[in-house]
Each structure stands twice: as structure tokens, then as C-alpha cells.
């Protein structure tokens, strides 16, 4: 009888201990989203629309971290909610030409580095207009 009581009390203590750990973890708030990477640096754009060819914007950047790729986004407003498109770029690239742009249209461009589930913050370039 004594052993059963000790066992039950021990199990009860483990449950209470586990619950208190959960309560502490809950009170601490959500866990961070995971590791982050440094954003690409020296981001520049070159907009052009030669002759009758479609308008283009070349995005160039430098990267200090080892990454698995980049994400380049373009939009027609600074909030990235209209005219929005996303392009995945391989890790070895340090430039990307945005396709399908209109002449005399203002575009906003941003880029981030990717490594597995880790993401850098966005590096946003001010607007650019192919002319």
C-alpha cells in the first residue's frame, strides 16, 4: 500500500511539474520564427526599355552569408499589394532580370535571402521606372 501511495504521489508530482513548465512556456510568449539571415546588400536596379523590346529591370546585389537562394518581388505600389509578382532566384546568382514590365510604369522591388527555413528581412529598393 505504501509503495502504491508513493508511486501515485510521484506521478502526481510529475504531472504538476509538467503543467508548471507548460505554464511558464505559455507565459513567455510565442517562440521566435527561427534563425534569420542578413539581407542582401548593395542592391541596385537598372531599368531600361530598348527600342521595341519589352521593358526590363535588372536587379543586382551582394550577399555575405551562404544561402540556398533568393526571393525577388516586384509590385506597383510600395505596400506590395498590387501588380505583385514573386521570383525565385538560385543561390549562385547576384543579378536577376525582371520580365514582363510595362514602359513608363513605376515598380517597387525588394529582395531577401533564403537558406532552408531561414529568411532574411526584405531589402527594398525605391521605385524604378523603365523608360
Write the CATH number for 88: 2.60.40.10
If residue 2 lies in a helix (H) or strand (E), which one and from where to where? Answer: helix 2-27
Nearest to 114 by CA among 85, 88, 86, 80: 88
Nearest to 35 by CA among 120, 123, 122, 124: 120
pLDDT at 33: 55
Distance separating alpha carbons of residues 131 and 116, to the nearest angstrom: 37
Distance separating alpha carbons of residues 129 and 45, to the nearest angstrom: 10
pLDDT at 100: 85
Block residue for cell numbers 551562404: 66
Q: What is the pLDDT along the chain (131 residues), one digit of tens a residue?
A: 555 554 544 554 544 454 444 443 444 444 445 557 899 999 999 988 888 788 889 999 999 889 999 999 999 999 999 999 999 999 999 999 998 898 889 999 999 999 999 999 999 887 788 88
Q: Is the separation of the CB atoms in 57 and 74 below 8 Å?
A: yes
Same domain, 42 and 97: yes
C-alpha to C-alpha distances, 114 to 56, 65, 104, 124, nearest whole angstrom: 24, 10, 31, 16
Same domain, 58 and 120: yes
Same domain, 49 and 94: yes
Residues facing 94 on adjacent strands: none
Contacts of 100 (CB under 8 A, 6+ apart): 54, 85
DSSP 32: P
Distance separating alpha carbons of residues 89 and 101, to the nearest angstrom: 18
Same domain, 68 and 21: no
Residue 63: give the domain boundaries: 36-128
Amino acid at each position: 500500500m505504501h509503495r502504491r501511495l508513493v508511486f501515485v504521489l510521484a506521478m502526481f508530482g510529475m504531472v504538476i511539474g509538467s503543467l508548471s513548465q507548460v505554464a511558464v512556456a505559455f507565459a513567455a510568449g510565442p517562440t521566435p520564427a527561427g534563425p534569420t539571415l542578413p539581407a542582401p546588400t548593395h542592391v541596385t536596379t537598372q531599368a531600361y526599355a530598348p527600342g521595341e523590346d519589352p521593358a526590363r529591370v535588372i536587379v543586382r546585389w551582394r550577399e555575405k552569408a551562404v544561402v540556398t537562394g533568393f526571393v525577388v518581388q516586384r509590385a506597383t505600389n510600395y505596400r506590395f499589394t498590387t501588380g505583385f509578382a514573386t521570383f525565385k532566384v538560385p543561390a549562385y546568382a547576384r543579378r536577376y532580370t525582371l520580365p514582363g514590365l510595362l514602359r513608363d510604369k513605376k515598380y517597387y522591388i525588394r529582395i531577401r535571402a533564403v537558406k532552408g527555413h531561414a529568411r532574411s528581412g526584405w531589402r527594398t529598393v525605391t521605385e524604378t521606372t523603365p523608360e
